[in-house]
């Protein structure tokens, strides 16, 4: 199993541009989520999904969209990039989301995004 | 929502010493408390977790304690080694959901 795969690993955007961070997992996990990591701020939840067709907002959802059309994929879209969105983004998955017993998170390698 | 406070932000110890990281949480309905370790440039990985019906859990040199009344939990690392150097994150579930809210992290430095 590849686990959780994120692409791209690095990206530089100009203010106002849009882009999509891709996340795929091959572990048949129901729960998937996106976090951003900023120095001294820990990991903050952006959006999450407990199964295909179900998404919900986390702590810092503004400026981001998600969709979950399949169990495997959970892309994160930046609609109009801003310098405040410069961060490292992590996708994470966990089994059994719909039963609310998600337990351990399995993280991707991260995507470093810089917005100029 | 859930608020998790973590202290200290930086912890420097000598090899062989013990290290303790403390966290508090605000949501009395939280029932799951994981700890993640993140080495420099790597992804976070779960090292130990505890559920609300347990007061203490050990795994070799690592232990976690939970005080639900006071709403705080701690990570204890004994006989620290240089490879323990990393950032450690505590987390508490949002209510009974198991979806974690993370603390801001503790940078542990173990000097040889």
The CA distance from B84 to A104, in Å, is 20
| B89 chain-A contacts, CB cut-off 8 A | 42-43
CA distances A56 to A1, A34, A51, A65, A67, Å, are 27, 11, 11, 10, 10
Q: What is the pLDDT of residue A98?
A: 46
pLDDT range class, residue A99, cuts 50, 70, 90: very low
- How many residues are present in chain A? 116
Q: What is the mean pLDDT of residues B81-109?
A: 92
C-beta atoms of A109 and B43 within 8 A: yes
Q: Can you say how many angstroms the Cα of residue A88 is from the centroid of all Cα atoms in its chain?
A: 10
Q: What is the mean pLDDT of residues A37-63?
A: 93
CA distances A15 to A9, A46, A79, A86, A106, Å, are 19, 20, 11, 10, 31
Name beta bridge partners: A54. A51
Q: What is the pLDDT of residue A96?
A: 66
Distance from CA of B37 to the nearest CA of A (A): 12
Those residues with Cβ within 8 angstroms of residue A39's Cβ, 6 or more apart along the chain or in another chain: none
* pLDDT of B2 strictly over 90: no
Q: What is the pLDDT of residue A64?
A: 97
The CA distance from B98 to A14, in Å, is 37
Contact of A116 with A14, CB cutoff 8 Å:
yes
Chain B CA closest to residue A89: B43
* pLDDT of B71 strictly over 80: yes
**Average pLDDT taken over every residue of chain B:** 94
């Amino acid at each position: 199993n590849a686990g959780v795969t994120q692409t791209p690993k690095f990206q530089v955007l100009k203010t106002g541009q849009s882009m999509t961070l891709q996340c795929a997992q091959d572990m048949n996990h129901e729960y998937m989520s996106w976090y951003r990591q900023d120095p001294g701020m820990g990991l903050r939840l952006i959006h999450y999904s407990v199964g295909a067709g179900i998404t919900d907002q986390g702590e810092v959802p503004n400026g981001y969209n998600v969709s979950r059309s399949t169990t495997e994929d959970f892309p994160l879209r930046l609609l109009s990039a801003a310098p405040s969105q410069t961060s490292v983004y992590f996708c994470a998955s966990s089994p059994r989301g719909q039963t609310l017993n998600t337990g351990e998170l399995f993280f991707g390698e991260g995507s470093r995004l810089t917005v100029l | 929502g859930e608020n998790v406070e973590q202290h200290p932000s930086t912890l420097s110890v000598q090899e062989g010493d013990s290290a303790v990281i403390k966290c508090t949480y605000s949501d009395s309905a939280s029932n799951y408390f994981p700890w993640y370790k993140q080495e420099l440039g790597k992804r976070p990985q779960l090292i130990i977790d505890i559920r609300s019906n347990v007061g203490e859990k050990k795994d070799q040199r690592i232990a976690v304690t939970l005080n639900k009344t006071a709403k705080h939990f701690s990570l204890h690392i004994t006989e620290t080694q240089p490879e323990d150097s990393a950032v450690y994150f505590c987390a508490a579930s949002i209510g009974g959901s198991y979806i974690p809210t993370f603390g801001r992290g503790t940078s542990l430095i173990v000097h040889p």
